Chains A and B, each alone.
Chain A
């Protein structure tokens, strides 16, 4: 029990940080310094959680031993990697927030507590090994983020954004629950292991339909969370209305958590003979959604006038790129044959999260005196009057556009490489569409750099937020983009290692058990088929003869 608790340290740190903030904040005098303290505290707590995850990774792999944990939570390399990534996103958001909140008159301690809760929810969702835990994590995250989006109570846009997000998000949660119900009905269990064990037997009759329904419903919920078209409608309004650091948090951490949980669900839960037919259909569906999402996101982003809204649509496009990466994952024979899936998506997520955080931190520095606009007028001259933020924003744009030597390029490279490897370049057209989309997206990313660097400036200089913590947030994200971009080897390996450890030991043991049972069946099948094959094609005939010859 204690051992298992120790493995959840990263989660517990986040939870206690949230509770500590909530309990202590009311007793502090409402001074500006105290409000800002929570930002530093939050960053420290999140980084401690990252450190805990890193230590567990380093001295792991550890397995949950008691049943209550083992069937509901995991501390595999996969979970730890994404918990650490989400923790890093949270830390940078904490650093970017304090001055912004003061400037906009919303410096309340609850903000930081909610951020911790949201991060805790994500960590739970990522570590979940059962649909119930997954749902609880998702709800903790969603509820906190709804409130954070609407945190600027005095701003109608912010409240509207929060309400929209809440209503649509509730529908997504309902879809997830409905899908879970179907899966429960099919398998008799809610943990991934149980579901997968049930699905190792071929389906009969109507089960196929229900399985399809279950996957469609659950997948829609995840697609909603990662803002993929056509379930993206909430994103632009929510992104634009939310306080800028929260927009960065949504673009990075929420997307990371959504993809991490989605992939784990697809891989650890929905694989086995029962879903074979599904696995011929699923890549096609995902690829179609991916193409739709990237094209729609990029085309609409072209006509936006505000940097924040542009980046909201760009995040829809990036969801599309990532979904194409998921195709490499799902279409991999790995799902049927238990090989190692592609590490492209985790690696891409690192680059995308860092670039988003850098961009929104830089945009947060524009909002002096409660101003929420991030259009051309506000950004012109930034490169000269606040060179640091201008450079960070420019770098983030270059990285999002996928130009080397930034991290964004290597993410796209590895993604394209892995998708091309599927079925002998079957998805080549999709890759070409991705590439053309990158060119389209470069136009609006460049437009932001044009505003920052090239347009003639206004007469009177603008005021920018030059808070050290905000600069640290920008600096860390930008340094990550450049340094990991120049030497991506290590990060790629970590991503690959994380996906290699996606299954828990418990699940592996169960699968071994199932396959031991299935063993005779599996052998029997080829024997039954063999005479037909031998008649149809004389080619393979010498192969069975070989062992005989050896025997003699």
Chain B
């Protein structure tokens, strides 16, 4: 099978008209420039500029949404301009079902973050506005880029604003945390840059993703290049052994920083795996999939256990992110349609529910200036609305049915059980990694991870909200203001919406995932399990939820 021709999901579908995606990408920076030119004395100007600017960006993102036909796979609304011809880099942006959900999530979260920061950021609003808007450009650009160099540039552009946000507005140990964050991420991404350059030389001098997917590479080259890409993305996710920067960064970051970090930036790691690492090196992915699945499972259990023993609410939520992203990673490692759909949706879910949790924790911190669980207890009596929202978001986080978390995790497990069961029918070929065993064991353990999730979240909720009020400082707590209620309310609406009616949301990425799995999965399977692959070709038409067609 010619790998290059079959990658229809990377081919251009529409484009060449109005450069809507370029506008969407650069608009936040334009507002940042406006903020840069206005003197910094009056913070309300910058607050207003940041908020209204991000609302405008959201409107443009909705216009993009309206312009995308989600039923068709492939790159849409493509912008393709000359950028650095001297080295063959082009300014190419495109959107498809893989990036669309995250674009909407990003554009939607930033205005909420500005609203949430209204009182929590108490100094240097000008700098904050600039950093947040540049960060938005970086995130949107990384999601839209279809040229490896453009992607890399935006990927690194995200780094500096987040470094400043944690370092300037963060907590007590912010400097250690932010430097750690910067160095970890930079380490991974620079090795990725070397891999990109190597690929560039192998692929006859272009950075274009669709052109490079067909590059002729030996197995050894694929493996090393995949390792370099995967390292960069796994650090960002963060997967188990590379996660140590995350609790520090999350805990020390100001609330807006935590929300963006959890809501969007972590998802860019999994997005990068799906968009770049796996399509470029499918054979290497075939070899690495068992390892990814194992790392994901360790992350799920380890994150949950670590979360359980935390005494700081925010640190607890941070470790819960490690656990939740483990589910997403598991779905990617499985790489069939159900699991991928679940992984993409679970990314959005995590952005919504963990974003909401960080905002709520931030609201409490503004009132009490502590996040120590032992400092609270019984505050549901003083803050009933707050407690209601918190418990609701917790339910979404522990994947209660009818909330969004359930849909995502169910799809991931449906996909991975299917994979495990299907690949256990035939005997294993010799010398291969026992993929079937890995999948079944990992899925089984991960399912337990959901239970562990309920354990640490609910025990935290009990200790913070219920029982008698033990600390006198908690007697005077104000309940949520209207602004705060609106912010969390908006997030809650989406939590319920996705939980009750997920079909529309799943449709966003359905066509793309289908077109992506078709050419790539066989290449993974050939490496992973030749016998399974043969069998799967025969039963390719059997899909969950569809009638069995005659072959």
- A488 to chain B: which residues have CB within 8 Å? 84, 86
Interface centre among B164, B175, B197, B200 (most CB of A within 10 A): B197
B152 touching A404 by the CB < 8 A rule?
yes
A414-B201 Cα distance, complex, nearest whole Å: 12
| Interface size bracket, B side | 35 or more
- Chain A residues lying within 8 Å of B168, measured Cβ to Cβ, are 453-454
Cβ contact within 8 Å between B198 and A428: yes
Among residues of B, the one whose C-beta sits closest to the C-beta of A493 is: B86
User: What CA separation (Å) do A420 and B167 show in the bound complex?
Assistant: 36
CB atoms of B198 and A442 under 8 A apart: no
A454 touches B156 (CB 8 A): no
**A residues in contact with B160, CB < 8 Å:** 398, 403
Binary contact track A441-458/B, C-beta < 8 Å → 1, others 0: 011001101100111000
**Which of A162-170, A180-188, A430-438 interfaces with chain B?**
A430-438
Q: Which of B149, B167, B197, B201 is in CB contact (< 8 Å) with A453?
A: B167
Interface residues on A, range: 35 or more
Provide the bound-state CA to CA distance between A443 and B176, in Å: 11
Please give the distance in Å from A57's CB to the nearest CB on chain B. 18
The answer to whether A421 has its CB under 8 Å from any CB of chain B is yes
Most buried by B among A403, A425, A436, A449: A403
Q: Tell me if A303 is interfacial: C-beta within 8 Å of chain B.
A: no
A405 in contact with B164 given A416-B197, A489-B85 (CB within 8 Å): no
A-B contacts, CB under 8 A, total: 88
Q: A404-B157, A450-B179, A454-B168 are in contact. Are A417 and B190 (CB under 8 A)?
A: no
- Give the distance to chain B from A493, nearest Cβ to Cβ, in Å: 6
The answer to whether A446 and B197 have CB atoms under 8 Å apart is: no
**Is A435's CB under 8 angstroms from B191's CB?**
yes
Neighbouring A residues of B175 by C-beta, 8 Å:
450, 454-455
A398–B40 CA distance with the chains assembled, in angstroms: 23
Complex contacts, B153 vs chain A, CB 8 Å: 404-405, 409
Complex interface: chain B residues within 8 A of A447 (CB): 179
**In the complex, A409 Cα to B156 Cα: how many Å?**
10
A544 to chain B, nearest CB (A): 30
Kindly supply a per-residue 1/0 record for chain A positions 372-413, scoring 1 wherever the CB is within 8 Å of any chain B CB and 0 otherwise: 000000000000100100000000001000011100011001
Rounded to whole Å, the gap between the CB of B341 and the closest CB of chain A is 33
What's the nearest-Cβ distance from chain A to residue B164, in Å? 7
A425 to B40, CA, bound (A): 50
Is A492's CB under 8 angstroms from B164's CB?
A: no
Interface contact B87-A431, CB-CB below 8 Å: no
Q: Does B45 contact A (CB under 8 A)?
A: no
Q: Is the interface of B mostly helix, strand, loop or mixed?
A: helix
Cα separation A447 to B85 with both chains bound (whole Å): 35
Q: Are B167 and A454 in contact (CB under 8 A)?
A: yes
B86:A489 contact, CB within 8 angstroms: yes
A436 to B186: give the CA distance in the assembly, Å: 10
A389 to B350, CA, bound (A): 40
A387 to B: closest C-beta gap in Å = 8
Chain B nearest CB: distance from A475 CB in Å? 13
Question: Chain A residues near B200 (CB, 8 Å)?
Answer: 417
| B436 on the A face (CB < 8 A) | no
Chain B positions 55-88 with a Cβ under 8 Å from a chain A Cβ: 82-87
From the candidates A398, A403, A450, A496, name the one contacting B86 in the complex (CB within 8 A): A496
Q: Is A439 an interface residue (CB 8 A)?
A: yes
Query: Cβ of A446: which chain B residues have Cβ within 8 Å of it?
Result: 163, 179, 182-183
Of the listed residues A425, A447, A493, the one surrounded by the most CB atoms of chain B closer than 10 A to its CB is A425
Any chain A CB within 8 A of the CB of B194?
Answer: yes
A491 to chain B, nearest CB (A): 9
Q: Do B201 and A489 have beta carbons less than 8 Å apart?
A: no
Given contacts A439-B187, A439-B190, A450-B179, 20 further A-B contacts (CB under 8 A): A387-B40, A403-B156, A405-B153, A413-B149, A413-B193, A413-B197, A414-B86, A416-B194, A417-B197, A420-B201, A428-B198, A431-B194, A432-B191, A432-B194, A442-B183, A443-B183, A453-B164, A454-B168, A488-B86, A489-B85
Residues on A lying within 8 angstroms of B by beta carbon are 384, 387, 398, 403-405, 409-410, 413-414, 416-417, 420-421, 425, 428, 431-432, 435-436, 438-439, 442-443, 446-447, 449-450, 453-455, 488-489, 492-493, 496
Closest 7 CB pairs of A and B: A492-B86, A404-B153, A454-B167, A435-B190, A404-B156, A439-B187, A489-B84
Can you name 27 A-B residue pairings with CB atoms under 8 Å?
A403-B159, A403-B160, A409-B153, A416-B193, A416-B194, A417-B200, A420-B201, A425-B198, A425-B201, A428-B194, A428-B198, A432-B191, A432-B194, A436-B190, A438-B186, A438-B190, A439-B183, A443-B179, A443-B183, A446-B163, A446-B183, A453-B167, A489-B85, A489-B86, A492-B84, A492-B86, A496-B86
